[in-house]
């Protein structure tokens, strides 16, 4: 652990993490070891892959692994199934892959042995409260994957996750809006290495009335989910403002994708591989700046 005094924060963003998984790979390759890692939604997958020091898994999680039409894709909606088969993607991977030569095999022992801490979050669909999970809350590889899935359960696209009797949806719905800057500040950090999945200057727009009405109908059984989706843009944009202020002061280094040509639900393997390649090129180009800032 050579940067224990800097918080590593991964933003969520679904399949946009095909780009930022390249940052995970480069950090591991460069031997840059943070003491505390924060991740929500797709950032939760980046977090656990980073802590298990697994470059092939980090990259495959948002590229080749997605190329499975039986479990991922629009056609599933015609069968009244969710776009993403969450249990298959997360807990299923933990159960299926135990061959060290397979890139999706998760090294649970190395994850546990890593002294760094993990911070994952999810949104309680019935109470509107947030839940926090650390490594101490993860009792097995399958249990960890369930909690990563809970943090990643994008409303409408993935089945809500049930953890200890509670129903959870995407951690991007929490008050931290998919980017755990405030938890890191509250943990005492004053320097932050933040990996974004949106380009510099991006801001969310207020949903129009038609979209808001559709959200209320879709989430009639969980009205707090619809309410949070309608208001999330405000907190997200405020958070972006705060992060940019920290960046100007020198307290934060922020990785912004130079380009982002995939969405949170892109499943085209060619597009995802191109996204990963672009992320690799940017990470290679910027890694010297990372070291200069981290070890100043």
* Helix residue ranges per DSSP H, 12-102: 17-29, 42-51, 55-60, 75-78, 86-89, 91-96
pLDDT tens digits along 165-185: 999 999 999 999 999 999 999
Residue 101 confidence (pLDDT) above 80? no
pLDDT tens digits along 35-65: 999 999 999 999 999 999 999 999 999 999 9
49 burial class (0-12, 13-18, 19+ CB within 10 angstroms)? buried
Cβ-proximal residues to 277 (8 Å cutoff; 6+ apart), any chain: none
Say what the pTM is: 0.96
Residue 2 backbone phi and psi in degrees, to 5: -110, -5
What confidence tier does 89 reach under pLDDT thresholds 50, 70, 90? very high
């Amino acid at each position: 652990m050579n940067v224990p005094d800097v918080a590593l924060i991964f933003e969520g963003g679904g399949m946009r993490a095909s780009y930022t998984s390249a940052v995970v790979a480069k950090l591991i390759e460069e031997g840059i070891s943070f003491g505390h890692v924060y991740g929500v939604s797709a950032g939760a997958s980046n977090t656990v892959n980073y802590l298990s020091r697994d470059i092939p898994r980090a990259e495959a999680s948002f590229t080749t692994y997605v190329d499975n039409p039986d479990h991922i894709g629009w056609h599933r909606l015609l069968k009244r199934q969710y776009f993403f088969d969450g249990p298959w993607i997360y807990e299923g991977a933990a159960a299926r892959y135990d061959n060290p030569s397979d890139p999706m095999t998760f090294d649970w022992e190395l994850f546990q042995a890593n002294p760094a801490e993990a911070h994952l979050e999810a949104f309680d669909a019935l109470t509107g409260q947030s839940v926090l999970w650390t490594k101490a809350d993860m009792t097995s590889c399958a249990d960890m994957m369930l909690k990563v899935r809970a943090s990643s359960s994008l409303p409408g696209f993935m089945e809500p996750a049930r953890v200890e009797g509670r129903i959870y949806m995407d951690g991007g719905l929490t008050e931290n809006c998919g980017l755990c800057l405030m938890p890191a500040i509250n943990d005492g950090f004053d320097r932050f290495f933040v990996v974004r999945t949106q380009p510099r200057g991006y801001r969310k727009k207020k949903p129009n009335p038609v979209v808001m009405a559709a959200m209320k109908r879709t989430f009639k059984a969980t009205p707090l989910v619809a309410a949070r989706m309608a208001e999330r843009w405000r907190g997200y944009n405020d958070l972006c403002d705060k992060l940019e202020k920290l960046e100007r002061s020198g307290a934060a280094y922020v990785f912004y994708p130079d380009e982002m040509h995939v969405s949170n639900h892109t499943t085209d393997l060619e597009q995802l591989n191109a996204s990963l390649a672009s992320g690799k090129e940017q990470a290679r180009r910027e890694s010297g700046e990372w070291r200069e800032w981290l070890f100043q």
